[in-house]
Amino acid sequence: MNRKVIVCAALASLALAVAAQAQVLYTRGTTRLRDSQGLGGKIVGSLAQGTPVQVLQDGTRYCRVSTDGMTGYLRKADLTESKPEDVTAALRGAPGTSNIRLAELQTSGAMRGLSKNSLAYAESRQIPVWARQAVDQMRAVSTTPEEMDAFEKAGGLGDYAGDQ
Amino acid sequence: MELLRIRSLVLCAAVLSATLGLQGCENMESVGKLGVQIIDTAVQGDEEDARKWEAVKRTARAVTGDIDLAEEISMGESMSMAVFVQLGKPHPDAALQRYVSLVGRTVARYSERPGLPYWFAVIQNDQESVAVSLPGGYIIVTTGLLRKLKGENELACILAHEVAHVAQKHGLETTLRDTRFASLVELGAAFDPEAEEYSELVDIAFDTLVHKGYDQGYEIKADLAGTRYAYMAGYHPEGLLPFLQQSVESGVQFEFFETHPDPAKRITEIRKLLREFGQYGNMPTLSARYQREVLEKL
């Protein structure tokens, strides 16, 4: 009886270990892969939002991961269990957004123009032109990954927050 | 041939629905969602087929009580226009608008839905001190609110609180509770731009989210999630406390509420979470940057 329990426990541990080894996480946003932990590590690649990575070693603040033939370290905070939503398809109907990925949408300010539903709502409720333009302007504010990076660096945030 | 494939898939989904539906509503909802996924997969890349099957999808979604991402974004976009009409015009300083977007997108990256674009705007209105979040990722704050903050971490925590409402779909859940009384077909038709139901849906959602506000349970969830996003982004995570402490005395809060959640209870819950973070005293409040980028421009 005891032997059965031990065997079962061993198998369960093995299964958990295999599952842990095979853990796949996704990048929350554009993320730099480094060859060692911390900002001192050399950048070995740039990963787009939603890139799946296999966790090789789970540390306190950094994970050692592999993806697409590359191996390196990422901050744990930059990884998520669920793949980030791809808004490309959802926004395909908007003018000028066909097959444009999120990063490009934010960079290019291509999110101009209201949806058919919003235009119908604006007509139905006699929304003034300035309010329609206000939403259009709101959607046109673009922030590039480089600009986000510079902003975080200047404030000691994101990738630059870890080594304080 | 392609149409046959789609019909077969939908027929399978329908048979599955009929079978599992006998076991209860919960399964019916799951199967409805599965049906929508099957149709989406089958018509992928074929716009003509996608149009043909849109009505079937709407009916299937009506069964699930679900709203898809495009509809969510569209609803938020429409409601944003109504918010501008109610609260005022955008602040004319493009650099200020960009700065608020940078802070908001910095924290939004650590939310449960980092894939949403998240759009931010500042309205020139010193009389109201409010922040509004709308489905799809539209977040609007007034200059009256910005004037009351002292550091970028306070702005980050407030924007993160609003992001949490979007990322955890508090607005959608609240709205759907209001609209479940409508017939299933009406809900399906509500996203047809030709139908008046769409405008009615936006009006209901606007009244529910902007006038009545979220209930206390959602507020506390958003406080905790928002504080966590800001902390993960690297901000000093006590950013919500100064405004809430003022609220204890003044009663003024940063969102519209029909029934005001108790700020003292919210402070207690946030402090419990902060204890989990350990030492964070050296994390930045970025007060000087906030002074330069916001307060000097208002």
High-pLDDT (> 90) share of chain A, %: 51
Tell me the C-alpha distance between B196 and B182, whole Å: 14
* Nearest of A40, A82, A84 to residue A62 by alpha carbon: A40
Interface check for B118 against chain A (CB to CB < 8 A): the answer is no
Alpha carbon of B57 to those of B15, B26, B187, B229, B239: distances in Å?
Answer: 16, 19, 12, 35, 43
Q: What mean pLDDT do residues A59-80 have?
A: 94
Confidence of residue A60 (pLDDT cuts 50, 70, 90): confident
Taking CA–CA distances from A121, the nearest residue in chain B reads B199
Q: How many CB pairs under 8 A join A and B?
A: 155
Which is it for the CA torsion B186, B191, B195, B200, positive or negative? Answer: positive
Distance from CA of A99 to the nearest CA of B (A): 11
Mean pLDDT of B34-51: 62
Who has greater pLDDT, A89 or A116?
A116
Q: What is the pLDDT of residue B19?
A: 39
Calculate how close chain B gets to A91, using CA atoms only, in Å: 6
Q: Flag whether residue A86 sits within 8 Å of chain B, measured between CB atoms.
A: yes
Is A109 an interface residue toward B (CB < 8 Å)? no
What residue ranges define each of the domains in chain A, with the CATH number in brackets?
A: 22-86 (2.30.30.40), 107-159 (no CATH)
Report how far apart, in Å, the C-alpha atoms of A126 and of each of B90, B203, B204 are: 19, 13, 17
**8 Å CB contact between A152 and A160:** yes
Residues 6+ apart with CB under 8 A from B205: B75, B79, B135, B171, B175, B178
Inter-chain CB proximity A49 and B77 less than 8 Å:
no
What does the pLDDT read at residue B15? Answer: 41
- Does residue A93 have a pLDDT over 60? no
Encode pLDDT of B186-214 as tens digits: 556 667 767 677 888 888 889 888 888 88
Please answer yes or no on whether A131 and B152 come within 8 Å at the CB atom: no
- Provide the chain B residues 229-268 that lie in CB contact (below 8 A) with chain A: 232-235
Does residue A101 have a pLDDT over 80?
Answer: no
Integer-rounded Cα Rg, in Å, for chain A is: 22
Q: Give the number of C-alpha atoms closer than 13 A to the C-alpha of residue B107, restricted to the C-beta side.
A: 35
Residue A6 has what pLDDT? 63
Count of beta carbons in the 10 Å neighbourhood of residue B201: 26
Nearby residues of B49 by Cβ (< 8 Å), 6 or more positions away: B2, B3, B6, B42, B43
What is the arithmetic mean of pLDDT over A59-83? 94
pLDDT for position B201:
83
Helix or strand run (H / E) with residue A67: strand A62-67
What is the reported pLDDT for B102?
Answer: 97
Interface check B75 vs A, CB under 8 A: yes
Asked whether the beta carbons of A51 and A79 are under 8 A apart, the reply is: no
| B98 near A CB under 8 A | yes
Helix (H) or strand (E) holding B9: helix B2-21
Task: Answer yes or no: do B85 and A154 touch at CB < 8 A.
Answer: no
Query: What is the rounded average pLDDT of the residues A87-97?
Result: 60
Name the band, by pLDDT with cuts 50, 70 and 90, for residue B25.
Answer: very low
What residues of B are in contact with residue A120 (Cβ under 8 Å)?
193-194, 198-199
Closest residue of chain B to A90, computed from CA coordinates: B70
Average pLDDT, chain A: 81
Task: Quote the pLDDT of residue B252.
Answer: 76
Task: Give per-residue pLDDT as tens, A3-34.
Answer: 666 655 665 665 555 555 569 999 999 899 99
* Cα torsion A101, A105, A111, A112: sign: negative
